[in-house]
Copies of this chain bind each other. A is one copy, B any other.
């Protein structure tokens, strides 16, 4: 296993998974990214990803927000989500809070991409990321897609990634080789995101392609399980985007099948799980000026309580600023627990930081603050919380809160 992409101790990389040097797309896929004038910077802002295999299967997951961007509504409502062949994406404008005109523009982009790629409209997923509340010029995106068609390449994943990046400080892209019983398949991903919503540039997008052959139900099952363990478990600032979209397209071009309930399904699922968890951690790590990433692991006898406590800690600005400052201030963990579980006092809870028990049964344990201070100044910091009872466990990954977050979000004036 290469150490290049998989950096975190919180991701288990199976032995049958290797990073492929140089990237590139799985067999059957081509991609491109071009500059179409949507981003004020003039950078790449329109991405086109196409599967040339008519029998491509797919699965999709979207943001749970009550305020959905136009491309999310169009893709959810007008697509065969189990048979997507094309992804048409733009950055620089989220096409969110744009009403009926925004829906028309999203549909126009979908139609243009369908003609350009010679597929049906309902096989084209559209995605946008960028400023909210400003009308998107669908014609400009359409022209970009036309230009992109001319540059579609099997190694176009880097250009497509560049075309969906906004405030991202670094690229989130990888190609993996996955050994299955019938042979080796490729699994590639291109993602963007740095803050659930950044100042005006929004959203997490993740496009995953494989040349393995999966039934639509298998693709849906595996994407659903792995998104729950990755993008659903990160919090940069507790905010939920209007545009979040994760797509998995399976061309089947390798001829290697991932059969339902087979050993290969487990192996492929493990690879997808490691891939999405590392990508999710990359998004948290890129969290708008983030210095370190924390993981809070909460155990206890009440599933809802465990979830609420984990979210309260991960979203607490006090916990996040302490993480930024490399401060092992567990009093802030205690207050987040209390706030998440009102009316339960006196509550017997334990808190450990980097394996050191600092609070037992609800009150402080004498510890060496020097050793603890050093432990919380590393790149990844682990917090473990135990609530009364047993049977439930959850985790949330989160970034810290520092001056750069404020600079990006307060000093960036419209």
Q: Give A residues with C-beta under 8 Å from B.
A: 64-68, 73, 94, 96-102, 131-134, 197, 199-200, 202, 237-242, 315-318, 321-322, 324-332, 334-347, 349, 359, 361-364, 369, 373, 400-403, 405-407, 409-414
> Cβ of A99 and Cβ of B133 under 8 Å apart?
no
> Cβ of A134 and Cβ of B364 under 8 Å apart?
yes
**Chain B residue, CB-CB nearest to A342:** B64
B-chain residues with CB within 8 Å of residue A100 when the two chains form the complex: 363
B-chain residues with CB within 8 Å of residue A200 when the two chains form the complex: 329, 331
| Partner of A340 from B66, B336, B401 at Cβ < 8 Å | B66
Bound form: Cα–Cα A318–B343 in Å: 29
This protein's copies in its complex: 2
**Chain B residue, CB-CB nearest to A369:** B414
Minimum C-beta distance from A54 to chain B (A) = 32
> Cβ of B413 and Cβ of A362 under 8 Å apart?
no
Given contacts A66-B337, A97-B359, 8 further A-B contacts (CB under 8 A): A66-B338, A97-B331, A98-B363, A200-B331, A238-B316, A240-B338, A325-B412, A373-B413
**Chain B residue, CB-CB nearest to A134:** B364
Bound form: Cα–Cα A305–B27 in Å: 48
Bound form: Cα–Cα A73–B345 in Å: 9
> Cβ of B405 and Cβ of A97 under 8 Å apart?
no
Instruction: For the complex of A and B, list the 9 residue pairs with the smallest distance between their C-beta atoms, beginning with the closest.
Output: A67-B338, A132-B331, A99-B363, A240-B339, A65-B338, A325-B410, A66-B341, A321-B409, A66-B344
Bound form: Cα–Cα A402–B321 in Å: 12
Bound form: Cα–Cα A101–B321 in Å: 30
> Cβ of A326 and Cβ of B406 under 8 Å apart?
no
Bound form: Cα–Cα A177–B94 in Å: 55
Minimum C-beta distance from A157 to chain B (A) = 29
Minimum C-beta distance from A167 to chain B (A) = 12
B-chain residues with CB within 8 Å of residue A402 when the two chains form the complex: 406, 410
> Cβ of A197 and Cβ of B318 under 8 Å apart?
yes
Bound form: Cα–Cα A202–B318 in Å: 11
> Cβ of B328 and Cβ of A414 under 8 Å apart?
yes
B-chain residues with CB within 8 Å of residue A345 when the two chains form the complex: 65-68, 73
> Cβ of A413 and Cβ of B66 under 8 Å apart?
no
Question: Can you give 22 contacting A-B residue pairs, CB < 8 Å?
Answer: A65-B339, A65-B342, A66-B340, A68-B338, A73-B345, A96-B334, A99-B363, A99-B364, A101-B363, A197-B318, A197-B332, A197-B335, A237-B318, A238-B315, A239-B339, A240-B339, A242-B338, A317-B317, A317-B401, A317-B409, A322-B410, A403-B406
> Cβ of B406 and Cβ of A401 under 8 Å apart?
yes
